Structures are given as C-alpha cells and as structure tokens.
C-alpha cells in the first residue's frame, strides 16, 4: 500500500463505526439484485420506519430505477447543469424521493468551477433534509462506483450464492481496500434457497476477506429467491408493497430495523468528497 493509501486508511479507520446516512449499494457482478434491493429498501425505510429517504440512481451504464418507480427519466440531474434547482428535478415515489441521471455526470466537465460548486452546494443543502441517501450503482469495479463507495463511508455489497458473484464481490472489496484502505462493508446475500445457503455463502466471503485482506465484514442479511419478486418486477410493482409477507419483504424489513436502530449521522461533506474523488472539483 502506498503512502497516500496509508493516510486514507487512517482516515477511514477514524470513520469506521460512523453510521453514515449515505449508503452506496454495489456488487461485483451484474444482475444480482441491487436495484430491486435499493427501491424496496427505500420503500421500507420510508414507510415502515418513517424515515426521509432519497434514492439516487448512479448506475452509469444502465440507469433503470425509474422503471421500477414509474418516474420520468427526463427529470434528472443533467437539468441542474442548465440552471434548474435540485428541488425541481427530485421526484416523489411511494413515500420517498428519487434523483435520477447520474449517468450524465461526465457532462460536468464542460461546466466552470463556479457552476460545479453551486451544484455541490445545492446537493449538500438538499441532502441535509434526509435521514438516508441510498445510492444504487452499476456492476463492477468502475471508477465512478469506487468514488461513490469512498465518499459514502458505508457500502452495502450485494451478492448471490453463485461462485462467480462471490468472486466478483471479493474482487470489489479487495480493490477498494487495497487502493484506499476502505473497509466498511456490509453484505446482503440475495437469491438464497434458504437461510443456511445465505450463511454458508456469507461465511465463505468473510473467511476469504479475513484470510487475504485481514479485515472483517458484516452480514446485513440474506434474501430468499422468490417468484413474487419476478412477478412484481413484471407488473412494475414493489414486492414490499404488494407481498409484504413474502420472506424477501420480511428480511428487508429486518435489515431496515437493524439499520435504523443506530441513528444515522449527518454528513455535510459527502458531495464535496464525491466530486473531488471524481476529479471534478
């Protein structure tokens, strides 16, 4: 690890245990259930735990949160570049707020420093009004995903029991730990046959991470494979709303309960950090 990484490692260590309200949802492999988790977790935090929630679609490659929420993809963050206020591009859906369009973040390059600072200021201001800001990302170890993870102090890593998904989850953890000393990982094992498969899968990952990186990761919960989720996706409905008694919905509520037991700390510098990590300010 180089000197810069060691310094960052110290900084991250200080932030460990900090219950950040910014949560980045990531995975190594694609299609493991991040977006479904993100929209349903947002729904549960907002409606069962009375939290003010902002869900951000930061999937650069294939943004699709709007499809799950019947939101208008034309109302998105790019409009901020043309002087619109962030309040005017945030949409309401099922009791929480949604901000789309981070796939356009590269267009920021064309903006001057004053405009970028004003966007950052606007995003910091609006974020202070939420208890949680959830960030759904695309698959893989993309530079922008890494920036969101680093900025948020808390990563939820989604995997499935499939060996390839597990290997990719490990690769993501390894790369961000090795580069930046980041070690605040919480894991959700999705599409499990049963609880046992969930815990076997998590333990494999935990042991590999401990053996090769020397750090501990936490299990957030496991989610069963369920046909009700496929039906909900097809009908553009949320499983937690339509099938609240399904094991998937129940376990998302358990995760919500665990998360909300510690009160999330305010964090006024998230967007500053993010734009800096992305090399935009």
State which of residues 32, 80, 238, 252 lies at the interface with ligand ATP (CB under 6 A).
Answer: 32
Is position 56 an interface residue for ligand ATP (rule: CB under 6 A)? no
Of residues 138, 146, 134, the one with CA closest to residue 252: 134
Q: Which is nearer to ligand ATP, 39 or 119 (CB)?
A: 39
Of residues 86, 108, 107, 106, the one with CA closest to residue 97: 86
Q: What share of the chain is helix, strand, coil (3-state, %, to 5)?
A: 50, 15, 30
* Count of residues of this chain found to bind ligand ATP when the rule CB under 6 A is applied: 21
- The count of C-alpha atoms lying within 13 angstroms of the C-alpha of 62, restricted to the half-sphere facing its C-beta, is 8
What is the rounded distance in angstroms from the CA atom of residue 150 to the CA atom of residue 279? 13
Phi and psi dihedrals of 29, rounded to 5?
Answer: -85, 150
Of residues 173, 225, 227, 219, the one with CA closest to residue 200: 219
Is position 81 an interface residue for ligand ATP (rule: CB under 6 A)? no
Residue 111 interacts, among Mg ion, ligand ATP, none and using kind-specific CB cut-offs from 5 to 8 Å, with none
Contact at 8 Å (CB) between 156 and 137? no
* Min dist. Cβ of residue 64 to Mg ion (A): 6
Is position 138 an interface residue for ligand ATP (rule: CB under 6 A)? yes
Is position 137 an interface residue for Mg ion (rule: CB under 5 A)? no
* Min dist. Cβ of residue 30 to ligand ATP (A): 3
Is position 193 an interface residue for ligand ATP (rule: CB under 6 A)? no
* Min dist. Cβ of residue 176 to Mg ion (A): 19
Footprint of ligand ATP (CB under 6 A): 27, 30-36, 59, 62, 138-139, 190-191, 223, 225-226, 229-230, 233, 248
């Amino acid at each position: 690890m180089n000197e810069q990484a060691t310094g960052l490692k110290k900084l991250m260590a200080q932030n460990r245990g900090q219950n950040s309200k910014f949560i980045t949802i990531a995975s190594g492999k694609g299609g493991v259930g991040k977006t479904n988790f993100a929209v349903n977790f947002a729904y549960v935090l907002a409606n069962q735990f009375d939290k003010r929630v902002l869900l951000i679609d930061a999937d650069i490659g294939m943004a699709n949160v709007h499809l799950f929420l019947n939101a208008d993809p034309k109302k998105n963050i790019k409009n901020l570049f043309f002087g619109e206020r962030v309040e005017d591009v945030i949409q309401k859906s099922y009791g929480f707020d949604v901000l789309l369009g981070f796939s356009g973040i590269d267009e920021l390059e064309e903006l001057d420093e004053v405009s970028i600072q004003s966007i950052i200021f606007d995003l910091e201001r609006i974020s202070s009004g939420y208890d949680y800001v959830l960030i759904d990302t695309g698959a893989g170890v993309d530079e922008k995903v890494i920036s969101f993870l680093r900025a948020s102090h808390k990563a939820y890593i989604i995997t499935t029991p499939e060996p390839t998904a597990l290997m990719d989850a490990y690769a993501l953890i390894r790369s961000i730990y090795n580069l930046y000393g980041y070690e605040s990982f919480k894991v959700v094992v999705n599409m499990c046959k049963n609880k046992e498969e969930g815990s076997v899968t998590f333990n494999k990952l935990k042991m590999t991470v401990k053996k090769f990186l020397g750090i501990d990761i936490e299990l957030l919960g496991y989610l069963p494979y369920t046909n009700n989720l496929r039906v909900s996706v097809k009908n553009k409905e949320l499983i937690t709303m339509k099938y609240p008694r399904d094991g998937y919905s129940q376990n998302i509520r358990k995760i919500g309960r665990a998360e909300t037991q510690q009160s999330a700390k305010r964090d006024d510098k998230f967007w500053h950090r993010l734009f800096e990590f992305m090399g935009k300010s």
